[in-house]
Every structure is written in C-alpha cells, then in structure tokens.
Structure 1
C-alpha cells in the first residue's frame, strides 16, 4: 500500500527539480536568457498541419525564424552534434526540439534523439515545441521521458478564426480543412495541455499575433490558458514568410505586440525576450552560433547499408511536362512516374478523356470521371494543380492520395513521396 507522506515527498521533489531546471531555461526564465545557452536539434522535418503564415524553407543560413534550418539530423547525428556543442559552449543547459516541422509529427526521431542525449548527459534540460495535434497520443510518453517543459502554439479558440489561419490538418490519415480542421486541432491542444499540466509539466503557449485575424481574440486565449494551468504565454509578431499564404500581410509591430502582452499580463506572465529562433539555433538567445557547428560526415564510421526505399507510382497532370500546372479535371493525359525520394523515372504517358468541359457538357461527366480514375487506378497518388472534392473522395476510396501542388514536377514528386511516407507511417 502506498504511503501518502511518501507521495507528497515525491511531488515536492519533482517540483523542486522542475524549478531548478526552469531557472536554467532561457525561454522560461527572464533571468536565465543571458546566462544559459540552448541548442535546437532539427530532427523533426515533417509537419502535420499547414499554417497560412508558414513556409518551411531549408538551407537558408541567413534567415532567422521558426521552421528554418540548414540541416536535418538523424538521432545519431543529433547525439554527435550535442557532444560537439557541449564541449565548446560552456553555458549549454537546454536541448530543445522545435522542428523544422513538428516534434510530435516525428515522434520516433524526437524520442530517440532525447534518449541518446539523456543517456550521455542526464542533467541536461529537455524541452520540445509542438502544434499540439498529436499531444493526446504522446503526452504520457513525454511525461515518462522526463520532459518538463513543452511549448504549444495555440493561435485561437474560435474555429472560424482557425479556419482562416490553417490551410489544412492531416490527422489519422485524413486531410481536414476549414472549421473541421481547426476544431480537431483545438480539441487535441486543450486535451493535451490539460494532461501535461496535471502531470507536472510546465507548458508555455506561443501565440502568433496576426492583424485583423486573431489579434482581438488573444486575451480570450490567454484567459483560457490560465484556466488550464499554463506557466507562461509568449505572444509573437507575425513574420510574413515569402511563399506563404500570408506573405503580403502586414507584419505586426513590436509596439502592438508589447501592448498586447501588457494587456494579457493580468492573466498570465508574459515572455518578453523571445527571439523567434531557428530550428537549429545554438547559443545564448540573440547570439545564434549555429553556423559554427555544421556537421561533417563522420570519417570513423563505416557507411551503413542503405535501406531499400519504397517505390511509388505517381500520376502527374501537366501541360508541358515541367510544371504541375493543370487541373485534374482538365487533363487529357497523365505522366506516370515511378521512384523513391532519391530518383524518379518517367515510365509512360496515359491518355484520358477530359471530363470537366464546362456546364453545358455535364451529361456524361460522371462516366468520364470514372473512366479517368480507372486510367490511374494502379497509382499511389495523383499530383495536380487543383482537384475537386468529389474526385478526391473517389480517388481516396481507391487508395489513391490527391496532392495539390503548384511548382515544378521535380519538386512536386519529392513532396508527394514525403506525404505518402508520412501517411504510411501513420504520422498524418
């Protein structure tokens, strides 16, 4: 039978441990950010939601914003890089995983990276950042791993506002959009945050302040987070990322952000020293040294046998063969590619009847659409500029994934394989 006094002692011991760790965490402690350094491990490239303010761009050493990194690491690389940084950065106290995608959308890699480093340096403070979609699935594992600091980005409580912020959400094999996507994300965020707080994890909430979208709604978000027992909120300005849906939106000024933080301070403490760090940031806040620690291939390791990569067959709609620039319903032929993430081969061209020919020719539309679907029924996915909802549903019933994309065929094929791989591993 358990002893109530022993339980109380364990809880006090845990609270003391978390308090000591927090005092060394530059993001959670105002006093710590000039004394202690952190390193972000970019081991999580995939993301399971699409935010309209985000454009995750790799290999950009001159850009500093969330979602940007110059390399993506394996867990083994992460352990090796940690040893390198630990040797040269005396103030290193925190290891965080903040992307460049979502830590929980890449949970096996995130967990293994933490386990490897924890085995070598048990005193290091670990934290991770997430959009919260998969929190109900992994919150218990987070607690069991001894991660005491988790940041969740919660931009709204109103699903109508969320529908304007999130382009889509991939959840349990489904692509959700609009209010349904926002509602699913919000439900999981609130459930996961509540669980973490109940189990002694300090939760920080990031809120991206977007003028004319969620700015007036932010105090309501902060009040709700207070009810859940959140530790601190971090209101950040929108950075209009080139290539994102919101790239032409006005950037929220720091005065506007500061005023909002002051208004919300009556509910929860506000983080005022955030630098909106890169996914591979290293060093003190505001003094990024990530460029000093690029990994070179280890000369002392024997090259591992390359795993056999799954081959996919992908149908592409394109006018001239170079760009994904044609609507699915307008296609009179499909280019069929086969390959994996490293190499693709154009294996054939298949003719199809264009089923979308305007309102005056709707009589045979269903029959033509079914005939078109049969042309590509052996494919894993169709890569197209646009596709209608009914066609998407019919393809999905045949086990064919629809990918909307507007770029080069080459980039589109790589993106499609990434989405297929995530789907097959139950990440999305």
Structure 2
C-alpha cells in the first residue's frame, strides 16, 4: 500500500482528524501529490551536523535538492510569503520547514514562523524536517505546537556505517566525529522518533542510499524504525553535491532505489513520488515554482511607478544581461556585465566588462574563495549590481564591499530606473 491512511493501517493508530489531514499531505499521500500544493519556508539556515553528501549552497538556482535555497527568510518575511502564495495557489495544504539547515537547530525561528502562520490559517498542515539530533530536546515543543507530521533523516542504525556518512556533529558545545558522532546522533534520533510516534505524530523517515556504504544496510534501518512506530519511509538516491565530500561519488540509480523500496515495502509503506525538494520549494511536487515566488519579486510588484530623478549624483550600475535588452541573467552565471552610469533620468553605457563566472551551474560550481573574491573586486567601482537573481553568499560578499544587490525581471532600462530608486530610498540589501 503506497497510499497514506489506506485501510486500517492508519485509522487504527492515528486520530481521524490527523488521518484526514494526511490525505492532503503530498509527501505522505501518493494521491495527494498531484492535487495539493506545499510550500517550504527557508527560515532555518543553521545546521548542527555535516553530512558527507550535503553542501548547503544558497545561490545555484538550477539545483533541485535538499539544502538549496535562493533566499533566507525571517519569520515575518515568511508570513508575508505565505499570504502571497496562499492567494495565488489553489489547494495549498502544507507549510514545511526543511532548512536549508535543520529546523530544530533554528528552533526559535521555526517556532515563531509556525505561530505567525497559525494566526492566519489555524488548519494548515505543518511539516518539519530534521536530522533528529535535537529531537529529544524539542519533541514536546513540536507536540505542543500541534505539528502532526515530522520527517527525520536516518541513514544508518549502525554507528560504524553512520561514521562513513557524517563528517561531524555539533552537540552540546562539542564537535564530535567518527563513530562517536554517529552514535550520539543515532541515539537521539531513535529516542525522539519514539517519543513523537507515542504522542500521535506521523513520522516519515528519509534514508539517503549511498552505494557501497549503507545500501545493504537499509532494510535493517527500515525494520528498526518500524518498531518505533514510523508511518512511512522514503528511500532517496544520493545526489552528489558540488563541494561535498561525496561530490564524485556515483549517483544512486533509480533502478537500485526502486529495487530497495520493493524489498522494504514488506515491512513498511514506501514513498515512491519524492522529488527531493529544495528548501524553498513552492507548488505541486514536480512543478516547483519557487523562483516565481521569491520575495524580491513581491517587493518589485509593490513598487510604485518610478519617477525620473534628474540632478542627482550619478551612480554606476553593473547589469547582468545576455543581449543588452533584458535583465535576464543570474549574477552567478554572468561572464560579463554591462556597466551603466546615470542619475535615474538618463543612463550611458560605459563599457562591457568581462569576468569569470561566479557560478556556472551545478556541474561547475566550486568553492574557490580567491576566484570569487576576484570577481567581486572587479565590480568594486560600482554602486550596485542589477541581475535577475543573486544568491545569498554573493549578495553578502557584495554588501561587504559596499556594492548593493538589486534584482529585477524587466528591461535593462526599467531595471536601471528601479535600481536607482532603490538606492535613493536605501531599500537595497
């Protein structure tokens, strides 16, 4: 049975109102994922463990995997985004907090976000994703908030195997490595999972299948979490993330994933429609609209018509554009910038300045600090950078150099006017 709450398996253990909500949860119900939408709010940037397969890169919009987002939101900004998405997307049933770090390692932000949205729509389904390290500490808080769906990533129930998957664990002010790190993480995961399931919380366990490390061990993981009352497991393929320890590890094939799901289906129902969503995913599973619902787009929609401001001190703006007509490039994918100067009334194209790409996309992203710093330095004489999108890390580097980041999805001319207006009002970030 792949459908959530099929037959007596769900209704005999969980209250009817939780079972009813689960029918509308696209991750827990195979039928719901084609009808009901979800949104992830990226309010949790900090993580307390380092998995060998993870690199929390904020600025690669072409990547779709856990740990990736194009923006970090405050709880108040998350509230505004919820109102925006709720107005535009029908059948929005779930609000999830899935990083880009760990929901519990950012508990105050997570809790504040949930409470703000509960004030707007008390019946919305909330879902948290966590590595489980802090579950014993916050499990009762999860219950008190009325959260009935929690996903825990548990990749091994043998610390010797776990030690090959985790680089380190930060716990109680200590940095743990090796089998000790894996043991502490596992103990907390198992204790927290059992605590939640005993209090009516539906727990889904995610398992990342890594060839030659935990692939043969997964049936043991599934049997163990079944004993703890887990509702469903989700066996996922390794996606080798650039910059991670497993960057060059082979990606797990879906043939192997499905074969493992078939084996484990005997013990517990399997999720077979997972899309390994981004931390800022919006919409139906498989139809991510996260870039449409970026907060910079909302801010631009609310911007009043821009009046020309002559007689102002000229500013210099670097524009990321393919052909010089539209602001249509992500900052990280621009190999050249058009440098304009003007005061808001008229602009002059001074030059086209070539640079190395800050990020060429998933296959070519790297973490070479000196190269990226050189790109920022090449724009040091500019007051602002105008691009279609820009990632968190790049934005911070520019800000530290006194260069403002402005995002626009318009013509170059309109984008320049918009950028100058933002500069004048000091609204750029």
Q: Which TM-score applies when normalising by structure 2?
A: 0.67
Residues 1:293 and 2:280 aligned together: no
Task: Give yes or no for the alignment of 1:205 onto 2:205.
Answer: yes
Q: Give CA-to-partner distance per residue, 1:290-333, whole Å, 9 cap, x none.
A: 111111386999xxxxxxxxxxxxxxxxxxxxxxxxxxxxxxxx
Task: For residue 249 of structure 1, report the CA deviation from its aligned partner.
Answer: 0.6
Q: Give how far 1:13 is off.
A: 12
CA, structure 1 residues 409+102, in 2 after alignment: closer, same or farther (shift >3 Å)? farther
Q: For residues 222 and 106 of structure 1, what CA distance do their matches in structure 2 show? A: 28
Corresponding residue for residue 118 of structure 2: 118
Report the secondary structure of 1:112's partner residue: helix
Per the alignment, residue 101 of structure 1 pairs with 101
User: Residue 38 of structure 1 corresponds to which residue in structure 2?
Assistant: 38
User: Which residue in 2 is equivalent to 1:80?
Assistant: 80
- Distance in 2, matches of 1:291 and 1:16, equals 36
* Cα separation, 2, equivalents of 1:292 and 1:167: 35
In the alignment, structure 1 residue 253 sits paired with structure 2 residue 266: no
The Cα offsets for residues 208-229 of structure 1, whole Å up to 9 and x where unpaired, read as: 0000000000000000011001
Name the CA distance, whole Å, in 2 between partners of 1:409 and 1:158.
41
Distance in 1 between residues matched to 2:167 and 2:370, nearest whole Å: 21
Going from structure 1 to structure 2, the CA distance change for 1:182 and 1:123 (only over 3 Å counts) comes to same
- Mapped partners of 2:164, 2:12: distance in 1: 43
What is the 5 A alignment of 1:54-93? 54-93=54-93
**Pairwise CA distance, 1:61:** 1.4
The alignment partner of 1:164 has SS state of coil
Distance of 1:76 and 1:298 partners within structure 2: 14
Q: Structure 2: how far apart are the matches of 1:407 and 1:131?
A: 29
Inter-partner Cα distance in structure 1 for 2:299 and 2:65:
29
Cα distance in 1 for partners of 2:371, 2:75 equals 31
Unaligned runs of 5+ residues in structure 1 are 1-10, 302-404, 416-428
- Provide the C-alpha distance between the structure 2 equivalents of 1:291 and 1:409, rounded to a whole number of angstroms: 27
Q: How does 1:202-241 map to 2 (within 5 A)?
A: 202-241=202-241
In structure 2, the partner of 1:170 is 170
Runs of 4 or more, structure 1, over 2 Å off, are: 11-14, 296-301, 405-411
- Per the TM alignment, residue 409 of structure 1 is displaced from its structure 2 partner at its CA by 12
Question: Residue 295 of structure 2 aligns to a residue in which SS?
Answer: coil
Shift of 1:59: 1.8
Partner residue of 1:282?
Answer: 282
Alignment root-mean-square deviation, CA: 2.4
Q: Which deviations, in whole Å up to 9, do the C-alpha atoms of 1:149-208 show, x marking residues without a partner?
A: 000000001101111110000001000000110000000000000000000000000000
Whole-angstrom CA distance in 2 between matches of 1:178 and 1:166: 8
Q: TM-score, normalised by structure 1?
A: 0.67
Query: Pairwise mapping of residues 9-408 of structure 1 onto structure 2 (< 5 A)?
Result: 15-296=15-296, 407=369
State the partner residue of 2:337: none
CA distance in 2, matches of 1:13, 1:195: 15
**Structure 2 unaligned regions, length at least 5:** 1-10, 304-366, 374-391, 394-429
Residue 60 of structure 1 deviates from its aligned partner by 1.7
How far apart, CA to CA, are the structure 2 residues paired with 1:137 and 1:258?
Answer: 35
In proportion to residue count, which structure has more helix? 1
- Judged with a 3 Å threshold, the aligned counterparts in structure 2 of structure 1 residues 114 and 43 are, in CA distance, closer, same or farther, namely same
**C-alpha deviation, 1:118, in angstroms:** 0.6
In the other structure, the counterpart of 1:311 is: none
Q: Distance in 2 between matches of 1:409 and 1:225?
A: 45
Deviations 1:350-408 (A, max 9, x none): xxxxxxxxxxxxxxxxxxxxxxxxxxxxxxxxxxxxxxxxxxxxxxxxxxxxxxx9855
In the TM superposition, residue 23 of structure 1 has moved relative to its aligned partner by 0.5
Residue deviations 1:233-255 (CA, integer Å, cap 9, x gap): 00000001111100111111000
Distance 1:27 1:67 in 2: 17
SS at match of 1:129: strand
